Amino acid sequence: MEKIAVLDSGGQYCHLIARKVRELGVYAEIFPVGVNADETRGHQGIILSGGPSSVFDAASPQPDPRLFETGKPILGICYGHQLLAKHLGGKVERGQTHEFGSATLRVRDEGGLFDGLAREHRVWMSHGDHVVRLPENFEILASTDECSVAAMGQAERGVYGLQFHPEVIHTPDGPAMLRNFLRNACGCAMSWRPKDRVDILVQQIREQAGARRVLFFLSGGVDSTVAYALTVRALGSPKVEAVYVDTGFMRDRETLEIEEAFSALDLGRLRVVDASGLFMGRLRGIADPERKRVVIGQAFVDVQDEILANDEYRDQGWVLGQGTIYPDTIESGGTDSSDVIKTHHNRVKRIQDLLEEGRVLEPLSEFYKDEVRELGRSLGLPSKLLERHPFPGPGLAIRCLCSSSAAGPAADERIAALAEQYGYSAFLLPLRSVGVQGDSRSYAQLTVLHGAELDYRRALPLSTAITNEFRHTNRVVATLAPRRIEPSEWRIRPATLTPERVRLLQRVDRAVTDYLRSDGLYDRVWQSPVVLLPWSRDGGESVVLRPITSVDGMTAAVAELPRDGLLALASRLCEINGVDSVLYDVSNKPPSTIEWE
């Protein structure tokens, strides 16, 4: 069987590379980047993934030097591109500028990786360091405005480096480039196709569970429902139980909708536990987003332990089932070299302890959202359930931003000058959100654009330009209502989670969902978070709309929804008591995560 070895340097997209290779018809296996070169002996080629490290770091992950003596075709991506240059005699320098997001690639050599492709391509960048001198006998194959060596190669050896990410959806011709590597450089017939994935998963569940029963805490979302349905298929409904914990941070009417949807599946009984008082009580007074996630994760575990303390569970013949998917683990630092982007509630210490004890079943942990939906379809789950927008386990608790102190907007002359070139005014807000830049976590301030109507042709490239040039901001929003803001009149106020703020967010979120459905837009976006900010002129809240398009959640692009409909929606939202402004998040991922916290 033809195989490709994907060496993981801790990049956010390592498993996405492997998945794309499999989709192209070649079986891909993932190894740590430092794997013994002998382990790759049976593989037709090697791909070095990106990663959060710099080749200049003393502790940066490094490959076995003998890897480059095997004579196998090698493709280096992002950090892997820089590793190639370093190990083969080239030179890497820290860049004066950073590229995060879309860029235009101009091809110099149309052969090799670019065989049969156009001279210009839209590609996805996420890097700071640059290759400035090629290894001996290598050629520059393509460049961007900010990166002279965006692609390099030595065709005779089948060794190539790409500074950009061909594996993500936002490099449209990336699959063709990977196909050229597999076919032209590695000589793969590309005839492998995944078969009986459900049957393989069912067998794995049976082997891991053994004689034990499985308790699932369902969120009602796609991941946990598909994981539960798979486990019922494997073990039968008498050995699998489902509990839905209402945290109080669900969307409007969501608990009722989940109960109705589950009853129609005929997969067993769903027990509903109202723990809203417990969760709100634990989170009272907490403003720090990471602390919120940890507290929520521990609260879930405590509810689980309380249930397992009942007599029917005292025999310890139980394992915990979870719908954890791969982005949850990779963004939580789930591989040896990966950076923690955010703490996932399925990865708090108690869950880690249970994992080490072999008491957690996660049948979807190597899959992405689109693959989970595919599995769900093969199980016969209804499309209405499978096409629901993803919703985070912590719920609205992480979409209701908090602040421990009062603050006002801050002027930034350089950002304002850049924004002016695009027809906008701009200032900074000291409300921080999570981002991912160069495969590493960032926690930076918010840039607000105002003074002009939302125009994607100007706002989107401006957002990319701002986050590329200024590392102290990783997210950009544009005002929908009011269009112009006098920054000195608006303040961030101290705020934590309260029932009143959550109810307001539920009401706003419902209005946004109704708008998407009524205008036929719901299925055009992958997810549409609504975020509440304690920033206002009159003591109310600001609402941020965050609709995005994506395939797997690892990368995402701003959804360019019709402006007239958005402006009408913003006007309706401002009529809700407590809403002072409506903003539109114009940040791609990277540099911004989909969720703000």
158 touches 47 (CB < 8 A): no
Encoded tokens for 350: 């108690």
Distances (CA, A) of 79 to 82, 183, 193, 318, 349: 5, 23, 29, 42, 30
- Continuous H helices in 533-574: 563-574
Nearest-5° Cα angle at 49, 44 to 51: 165
CA dihedral for 116, 371, 529, 595, sign (positive or negative): negative
Residue 183 DSSP code: I
Secondary structure (DSSP) of 351-397: HHHHHHTT-EE-TTTT--HHHHHHHHHHTT--HHHHTSPP--TTGGG
Of 198, 459, 208, the closest CA to residue 322 belongs to 208
Polymer length of the chain: 597
Of 471, 478, 246, 326, the closest CA to residue 14 belongs to 326
Dist CA 388 CA 222 (whole Å): 7
Of 429, 377, 460, the closest CA to residue 542 belongs to 429
Encoded tokens for 437: 């830049």
Dist CA 317 CA 524 (whole Å): 44
Encoded tokens for 225: 């429902």
Helix, strand, coil tally for the chain in percent (to 5)? 35, 25, 40
> Annotated active-site positions, please?
78, 165, 167
Longest CA–CA span in the chain (Å) reads 71
Of 230, 241, 397, the closest CA to residue 304 belongs to 241
Of 222, 227, 220, the closest CA to residue 386 belongs to 222
Residue 582 DSSP code: E
Encoded tokens for 235: 């073990």
> Which class for 484: exposed (0-12), middle (13-18), buried (19 or more C-beta within 10 A)?
exposed
> Strand (E) positions, 204-294?
213-218, 240-246, 270-274
Q: Which are the contacts of 500, defined by CB distance < 8 A and separation ≥ 6?
A: none
Of 32, 124, 19, the closest CA to residue 77 belongs to 124
CA dihedral for 296, 301, 305, 307, sign (positive or negative): positive
Find the helix or strand (DSSP H, E) in which 429 lies. Answer: strand 425-437
304 touches 277 (CB < 8 A): no
